[in-house]
C-alpha cells in the first residue's frame, strides 16, 4: 500500500490470505471458486469449499432440510430442531424461488450459542473441552458430526465441561449458510 503497487501472493494458508490480502481468489483444482475481500468471503461464501476453507477453526456443517412453515417462511430442520431463517435470507431465497430440499447448513464455531428455546436447539455430547483463555473450544458430537463451538469464558458464569456432558446449542437464522446438498452451492446465490 505504501508503494502503491499491486502484487499477487500465492499461498495455501488461509490465515495468510485473510491477513495479507485486500482481495482473495480462492481456487480448487485450477478453477476459480470465488473472488472477494476477506470479509466478503468469510460472510458470504459461494459454496461449501470456500466456506470450509476460510475461517479458523473451520465452519461446522450439518445435514438438514430446508422447509417452509404454515406462514410460508423458510425454516431449517436439523435433527429435532427447527430454526427460522433470517428476514434477509428469506428475501434472497424467495427471490430465487428456492424450493424445500435437502441441504447442508454451515455455521461458524463462534456463531453458536449454548442453550436456546425448546424445539430450536441441537443436542450434542462434549468430546473435548479446550481452555483457550478468553474462550473455551468445545469439540462436540452433534447431528452425527464432529463440531467445534467457541464459548467466550465471560458467558460461562463458572460453568465447566467434561467429556460426555450433554449440551444444547443453537444459532441464529442470520448466521447460518444454506447449501444445496447435491450442488454444494450457497442457495443465496
Q: What is the pLDDT of residues 99-132, one digit of tens each?
A: 999 999 999 999 999 998 888 999 999 999 999 9
Looking at the structure, tell me whether residues 37 and 114 fall in a common domain.
no
Residues 6+ apart with CB under 8 A from 188: 44, 89, 92, 93, 96, 178
Number of domains in the chain: 2
- Checking if the pLDDT of 1 tops 80, the result is no
Q: Write down the pLDDT at residue 85.
A: 95
Looking at the structure, tell me whether residues 47 and 85 fall in a common domain.
no
Closest by CA to 78, choosing from 98, 93, 60, 62, is 62
Looking at the structure, tell me whether residues 47 and 134 fall in a common domain.
no
78 in any annotated domain: yes
- Residue 6, number of CB atoms within 10 A of its CB: 6
39 in any annotated domain: yes
Q: Taking all residues of the chain, what is their mean pLDDT, rounded to a whole number?
A: 94
Residues 6+ apart with CB under 8 A from 9: 16, 20, 21
Distance between CA atoms of 147 and 46, rounded to whole angstroms?
21
- 164 pLDDT band (50/70/90 cuts)? very high
Looking at the structure, tell me whether residues 20 and 81 fall in a common domain.
no
Tens-digit pLDDT profile for residues 2-53: 888 888 888 888 888 888 889 999 999 999 999 999 999 999 999 999 999 9
Distance between CA atoms of 122 and 12, rounded to whole angstroms?
33
Looking at the structure, tell me whether residues 172 and 84 fall in a common domain.
yes
- Checking if the pLDDT of 62 tops 80, the result is yes
Looking at the structure, tell me whether residues 88 and 126 fall in a common domain.
yes
Report whether 32 contacts 26 (CB < 8 A): yes
* Mean pLDDT on 70-79: 95
**Rounded to the nearest 5 degrees, what angle is found at the Cα of 140, between the Cα atoms of 135 and 143?**
135
Q: What is the pTM of this model?
A: 0.91
Range of the domain at 31: 14-53
Please report, for the domain that includes residue 132, its CATH number: 2.40.50.140
Amino acid at each position: 500500500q505504501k508503494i502503491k503497487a499491486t502484487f499477487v501472493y500465492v499461498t495455501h494458508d488461509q490465515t495468510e490470505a485473510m491477513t495479507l490480502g485486500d482481495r482473495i481468489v480462492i481456487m480448487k483444482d485450477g478453477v476459480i471458486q470465488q473472488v472477494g475481500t476477506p470479509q466478503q468471503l468469510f460472510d458470504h461464501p459461494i459454496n461449501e469449499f470456500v466456506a470450509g476453507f476460510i475461517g479458523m477453526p473451520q465452519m461446522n456443517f450439518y445435514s438438514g432440510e430446508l422447509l417452509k412453515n404454515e406462514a410460508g417462511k423458510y425454516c431449517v430442520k436439523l435433527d429435532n430442531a427447527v430454526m427460522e431463517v433470517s428476514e434477509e435470507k428469506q428475501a434472497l431465497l424467495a427471490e430465487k424461488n428456492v424450493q424445500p430440499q435437502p441441504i447442508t447448513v454451515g455455521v461458524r464455531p463462534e456463531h453458536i450459542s449454548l442453550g436456546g428455546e425448546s424445539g430450536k436447539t441441537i443436542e450434542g455430547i462434549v468430546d473435548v473441552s479446550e481452555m483457550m483463555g478468553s474462550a473455551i473450544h468445545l469439540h462436540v458430537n452433534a447431528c452425527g458430526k464432529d463440531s467445534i463451538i467457541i464459548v467466550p469464558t465471560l458467558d460461562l458464569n463458572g460453568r465447566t465441561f467434561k467429556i460426555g456432558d450433554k449440551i444444547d446449542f443453537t444459532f441464529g437464522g442470520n448466521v447460518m449458510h444454506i447449501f444445496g446438498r447435491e450442488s454444494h452451492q450457497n442457495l443465496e446465490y
